Amino acid sequence: MKIIICGAGQVGWQIARHLSAENNDVTVVDSNPELVRRATETLDVAGVTGFASYPDVLDQAGANDADMIIAATFSDEVNMVTCQVAHSIFSVQRKIARLRAQSYLDAIYSDLYRRDHMPIDVVISPEREVAEAALRRLLSPATFDIEDFLDGQGQLIGVSLDESCAVLNTPLRQLSELFSTLRAIVVGVRRDGMLFVPEPGDQLFVGDQIYIFTHTEDLGRTLEIFGKSVKKRERVVIIGGGNVGLAVARKLEQRTDRVRAKVIEMDRSVAERAADALERTIVLHGDGLDSDLLEEANIQEADAVLAVTDDDKTNLLVSTRTKAAGCPMAIALVNDPSLNSLMGPLNIDAFVNPRATTVSSILRHVRLGRIRSVYSIGDAEAEVIEAQVMSPSPIVDQKVRDIPFPEGVLLGGIKKGNEVIRPTSTTVVEEGDVIVLFCLAKDVPEVERLIQPGIGYF
């Protein structure tokens, strides 16, 4: 496919990296020449410097014969106009726009995006995507990372191991014997700061951070086996009442199982807006780092704190302070992936990466056929790829043990029809199956080659 990506920031660059690696014809457009230069020098993409909404810039980028345009600049209005120009002048068939302002996303205005109005085929809201990711972390408190796959039937979870884990010092191959009906596989292990894909003879130790792919129905049992409580979180304190915090609080109010939430917001106008929008949630105006205010919010009695301000350092400090005050669980929103390594030393239980979440959401709508979803692990150290197997891929009709996956790749789950199974060495991968692979970053190109169905498919 010929794809134009407007916006060469972190989100645009990551999308360009994924799509160019799949042999798509990608052109990156940005008004910042340095960002365009970075993209063209590090990726196999073309670059155009200019404002994406200008017709002559899109013409220079090749919009006349483009199959898709992804508008991911920092401006909602530029993204919307870019899609309009791409449709009206260049007849680009598929248009995706990233929109942040919640007013543009209100359901009562959904007619705005009809083809005869503002022709945008897919609208991506980073705040809503991040709120969903934060809610998943909140409702699965024993994990530091969690993501849905296979239409919600499979989940990747990240778990930190301590002495309560019943399977420490046990070779992984024995887990299949001990728990023969458990649909779960340990696909990744981080030990002493190094992420690797385990071998069947490898053991798990205290301090390991492991990634497990599990059937959603087996999530509770999986957590128990690895020593994690599935205690429900009933009292939550949210630091930050902006779009993300407000969206999480609203979703908590809508749940049938009552979760009591309090929101702390420093900006008075934002706090007032949140108070007006929420029905059962208490909103406190003040600094989330203020010990007195945290005490007023009964932080010591809360089950979890969710720090989702627009400042990474504030989120980290708030999380650390609330843990010191007696809150058993802290989740921080962190934009800079290089800060993820501080989670352990700061005793922060989980994090949400908005960029990775947004990239994954956009790619979910971009891919045709084989690759349906991509989820980034850590600081782009690994990826979890969900792909549909299409002929003439070399893995069709092959047993898992005969597929030449690189050492840094492990098959976590397979969906055959409507059934999700745990793959074994003798499982045959068939055309139409949907597979989930854990891949170290260096092995992603080879995995994409193996699942490549051939250009004729498109």
Class (C level, CATH) for 235-356: alpha beta
Q: Is the model's pLDDT at 439 over the cut of 70?
A: yes
**In whole angstroms, what is the distance from residue 398 CA to residue 406 CA?**
16
| Predicted pLDDT of residue 456 | 37
215: helix, strand or coil = strand
Of 19-33, 53-67, 138-152, 276-290, where does mean pLDDT reach its minimum?
A: 138-152
* Angle of CA points 184, 185, 191, to nearest 5°: 130
Closest CA to 75 of 105, 100, 109: 100
| Predicted pLDDT of residue 26 | 96
Predicted model pTM:
0.74
CB 199 within 8 A of CB 245: no
Considering the domain 357-457 in this protein, what is its CATH number? 3.30.70.1450
Of 20-24, 271-275, 321-325, 400-404, where does mean pLDDT reach its minimum?
A: 20-24
353: helix, strand or coil = coil
H or E stretch at 72:
none
| Predicted pLDDT of residue 453 | 60
Q: How many CB atoms lie within 10 A of CB 268?
A: 10
Please write the tens of the pLDDT for every residue from 155-174.
999 999 989 998 999 999 99
Give strand pairing partners of 48. 29
Please write the tens of the pLDDT for every residue from 343-387.
778 888 888 888 878 887 787 777 555 778 888 887 678 889 999
| HSE-CB of 282 using CA atoms within 13 angstroms | 13
What's the distance, CA 16 to chain centroid? Answer: 17
Please write the tens of the pLDDT for every residue from 261-275.
999 999 999 999 999
| Predicted pLDDT of residue 455 | 38
Of 88-97, 196-205, 371-380, where does mean pLDDT reach its minimum?
A: 371-380
H or E stretch at 222:
helix 219-225
Angle between helices 243-254 and 126-139 (to 10 degrees): 50
| Predicted pLDDT of residue 457 | 38
CB 378 within 8 A of CB 351: no
**In whole angstroms, what is the distance from residue 189 CA to residue 187 CA?**
7
Confidence of residue 25 (pLDDT cuts 50, 70, 90): very high
Confidence of residue 290 (pLDDT cuts 50, 70, 90): very high
**In whole angstroms, what is the distance from residue 21 CA to residue 38 CA?**
16
Structure tokens at 203: 């053991």
| Predicted pLDDT of residue 293 | 93
Average pLDDT over residues 320-342: 86
CB 236 within 8 A of CB 297: no
Confidence of residue 321 (pLDDT cuts 50, 70, 90): very high
Same fold, 2-124 and 357-457: no
What does DSSP assign to residue 171?
Answer: -
Cis peptide before 392 (omega within 30 of 0): yes
- For 57, 98, 163, the CA distances from 135, given in Å and listed in that order, are 40, 21, 27
* Angle of CA points 268, 246, 248, to nearest 5°: 150
**In whole angstroms, what is the distance from residue 369 CA to residue 362 CA?**
15
70: helix, strand or coil = strand
pLDDT averaged over the chain?
A: 88
Sign of the dihedral through C-alpha 386, 389, 390, 396: positive
In the chain, what are the domain boundaries?
A: 2-124, 235-356, 357-457
CB 253 within 8 A of CB 281: yes
Average pLDDT over residues 268-289: 94
Of residues 454 and 357, which shows the higher confidence score? 357
CA dihedral in degrees (323, 210, 193, 167; nearest 10)?
90
Q: Is the model's pLDDT at 258 over the cut of 80?
A: no
Average pLDDT over residues 120-129: 86
Of 14-23, 299-308, 309-318, where does mean pLDDT reach its minimum?
A: 14-23
Structure tokens at 110: 């959904």
Fold type of domain 2-124? Rossmann fold (3.40.50)
Q: Is the model's pLDDT at 236 over the cut of 50?
A: yes
| Predicted pLDDT of residue 458 | 35
Dihedral-angle region of residue 396 (phi above 0 means left; psi in -120 to 50 means alpha; beta otherwise) = beta
